[in-house]
A and B are shown apart, each in its own frame.
Chain A
Amino acid sequence: MLDSLKYYLKQHTEAAPLAVFRILFGLMMFISLLRFWAMGWIEKLYLEPNFHFSFYGFEWVKPLGNYTYLIFMVCALAALLVTIGLWYRIAISTFWLSFTYIELMDKTTYLNHYYFISVLALLLVFLPAHRYFSVDAYRLPKLATKHLPRYSIDAIKALLFIVYFYAGLAKINSDWLIHAQPLATWLPGKYDLPFIGSLLEERWLHYTFSWAGMLYDLSIPFLLLYRPTRSFAFTLVVIFHVLTRILFPIGMFPYIMIVSAFIFFDAGFHQRILLALQKLLRLPKTFLSPIGKAKFDLKLGQRVQIGFIAVLLLSQVLIPWRHLFYPGELFWHEQGFRFSWRVMLMEKAGYTNFTVYDPQKKERFEVDNQDFLSSFQEKQMSFQPDFILEYAHFLERHFQKTQQRGDLEIYAESYVALNGRSSQVFINPTVDLSQVKPGWANKTWILPFNDTIYGL
């Protein structure tokens, strides 16, 4: 066992796939960040709102006023450095830190694919992606090599495997498979698409897409790994992600996933890409055929890296199951819903208002959420319990400070609808949320879900 592990860790493979991956990843990130900036989202999402929703334990991560632009600039610059492979370890670490900082500033904008980027960037910190076809390898020949430990490419494959497979597992539930929800809610709304628009109302199409989506997610990692089915699988990847891009507002994610799937291809394919790139950019020959022959000898430094990679991948296997610690319907209470590749799984909407009661002055009043939240924040807050709690605490502090009040009681009147069901009361209206501590404990102040969703 230990021997075969040691044998595996000593195996080498061509460096080209990781080099191509590094180049494309950096480029995609650079474009994504520019796009985010150009859409005006830095202002809208991070500068205009006065209040920001934090992840538990990361309350200290906040937008930094106009310096927020600086974080984006640093992040974009780091992405470019990753692409060209200059000061790689510093660049990818900076990218990971700044990107993750951005994602932690306000959880209103949480998306699984942003989380995917953060995890992937952290993985890349420990991978020798700069040893081939990079400025670093050119400038420091003793770094350069055409061969890398095999695990450095397998680690990325493993992460993609987890993402797809877990996304598929999450789709094995009665709403998705038996009721074709939420696709039955979403697809008819895209009636205006050319050619397929009129089909999107058809019940059979909702079922087809639901089942095909589930089967795709579960099988695609295997089909990509197995050489005879690889081209077919890649065709599926493209069709699937293009379709999601057309049907849903998911920005750059489809492109990132398509490009990431390149990693499954043989080295020859990547070698030809690099050759074309070398000719196109008139790069020195040493980019393709480095003089140096760096050694990977499983000494301490490399062992530490392998350790980090193993822990990271293991955590990705385990974290999605944490919802098992919480009773009740996961889609309803959402405890353990994030960070577990539950992608596009539910249509949830809510309407939540707060009443403040001042027991000393015996005064009771409702809050106009618009006074504090952007419409996007209000929308996200209205159906996610941790948002509701954090906001309730903010309201208590706010009214204590601005209106010189003592201890306040905060009650939520909340209605939420899930996957096409009628709206129902969400939060126990008699619980004073100002007394509830945030944390990992089960949130007993969420009222039980009126229905049952069967599945994983």
Chain B
Amino acid sequence: MERVVLALLITVTFACTNEESDDSQNADNFDRSAMLVHWADDYIMPAYQDYQQKVVALNSSAQAFANAPSTVLHSTLHTDFVAAYKAWQWVSFLEIGPAEANTLRNFTNIYPTSAIEINQALPNASYNLSLPSTFNEQGFPALDYLLSGLGDPANTVSLFTSNSDYGAYLLALSQRLADMATQVVNDWQSSFRAEFIANTGSSATASTNKLINDFVFHLEKELRAGKVGIPAGVFSGNTLPQNVEAYYSDTLSRALFLESLLAHSAFYKGTGFKGLQSGSSLEQYLDYLNIEYQGEALSTKINARLETARLQATTLDDSFARVVQNSNSDLLSLYDELQKTVVLLKVDMMQALNVRVDYIDADGD
């Protein structure tokens, strides 16, 4: 008897320690590691490289403008600002690896920015932009304030000419964006890509699980709430037009929203960064598992919702702040549409793909 028990206990110990090792032989028919490779090579790395180029360009036109402020250079700078801000929308949800380690999103796009704090920081040449307390004094929203929040371009030029503090702050902001982007691109190239595609497991910290969580979280909190719900007053009872993204540029908020929506769709459908190269996707994964939603393919349903949201947004004024003031119910109905998309992604898709919603690896029973 004891021998049986002993043998079994040894088996238990062996089986359970063995289980910790994560060397996957991935014989699954749906190739999840192919999906990771597609994400890394056709979406994430090209998107980051594009973003890096755009912020580096932004940084050099900021230098040119700070050195010799003029309305012509201001216009170039603003064009580069818009291009970089749009490029940012493609990488914003990738809060994994180097971006996660550096809390890239918090340092890049916390809005509304604080004009008060920026004006307090301006005269001190020694601002420390790596402090979490300075989230709302930097990144694109702060640049937006410096470029378009100080008056018309002529006014802005004269302020920059008369007070070098503005130029110095502008450069600190653009330099920081360029540095952070370069850091993330380098980390992905040198080591994180390999780590990312090797982490094929199914645990809460595996790449697929984490990135799907990031993706859905971003759609819920940034696209649905940040860009639409919060300015429309969904969470406050009263409308907050000043909380739209790129508030000072005025006519940019809808374009940024659409860019972000496009990025989410591309990631979900697996069409790659700006249609670069298609590959295995969440959409295919759902089809592979044959997941239905009320008699229809869930993947189709999600696509339809994303498309409806896009069409709704295209009918709106290009300034969401104006939409809030003039016809907020339109923005609220866009919010409702996005809300339905979140339900399909967060409840139906994540359940079907068996992706755990939380990062806490607590026990189940």
Seen from chain A, the residues whose Cβ lies within 8 Å of a Cβ on chain B are 39, 41, 44-45, 109, 111-113, 185-186, 188-195, 197-198, 201, 231, 234-235, 238, 241-242, 245-246, 248-253, 255, 258, 265, 269, 272, 343-344, 347, 349-351, 353, 358, 361, 363-368, 370, 374-376, 378-379, 413, 415-417, 420, 422-423
Contact = CB atoms under 8 A, between A and B. Distances in A.
Interface residues on B, range: 35 or more
B186 to A, nearest CB: 29
Contact of B292 (A109, A349, A416, A422): A422
Interface stretch (B25-33, B142-150, B303-311): B25-33
A349 B360 contact: no
25 contacts: A41-B360, A45-B362, A185-B352, A189-B353, A189-B354, A191-B32, A192-B200, A194-B18, A245-B15, A249-B364, A250-B365, A255-B12, A258-B9, A272-B2, A343-B365, A349-B346, A351-B342, A363-B237, A363-B238, A367-B235, A375-B359, A417-B348, A422-B348, A423-B344, A423-B347
B19 interface: yes
B289 interface: yes
A194 B360 CA distance: 24
Contacts of A44: 360, 362
A345 to B, nearest CB: 10
A42 B227 CA distance: 36
Nearest to B350: A349
Given A197-B24, A249-B361, A375-B360, A351 B343 contact: yes
B27 to A, nearest CB: 3
A358 B237 contact: yes
B363 A249 contact: yes
B5 interface: yes
Interface in B1-48: 1-2, 4-5, 8-9, 11-12, 15-16, 18-19, 21-29, 32
Contacts of A344: 364-365
Contacts of A420: 351-352
Contact of B15 (A185, A242, A248, A415): A242
Given A189-B202, A245-B16, A198 B363 contact: no
B144 to A, nearest CB: 24
Interface of B: 1-2, 4-5, 8-9, 11-12, 15-16, 18-19, 21-29, 32, 200-202, 206, 221, 225, 229, 233-238, 289, 292-294, 298, 339, 342-344, 346-348, 350-355, 357-365
A351 B346 contact: yes
Contact of A375 (B2, B353, B357): B357
A253 to B, nearest CB: 7
A194 B15 CA distance: 11
Given A197-B26, A231-B4, A188 B347 contact: no
Nearest to A32: B363
A113 B365 contact: yes
B202 to A, nearest CB: 5
Ranked nearest first, the 10 interchain pairs of A and B with the lowest CB-CB distance are A189-B354, A198-B27, A251-B363, A363-B237, A192-B24, A191-B28, A365-B237, A111-B365, A375-B358, A423-B347
Contacts of B293: 422-423
B4 A368 contact: no
A234 B4 contact: yes
Nearest to A347: B351
B192 to A, nearest CB: 20
A248 to B, nearest CB: 6
Contacts of A248: 364
Contacts of A253: 363, 365
A254 to B, nearest CB: 8
Given A189-B353, A234-B4, 8 more contacts: A189-B202, A201-B29, A238-B9, A245-B15, A344-B364, A351-B347, A376-B358, A422-B294
- From A188, A246, A351, A370, residue with most partner B Cβ within 10 Å: A351
Contact of B234 (A231, A249, A365): A365
Contacts of A251: 363
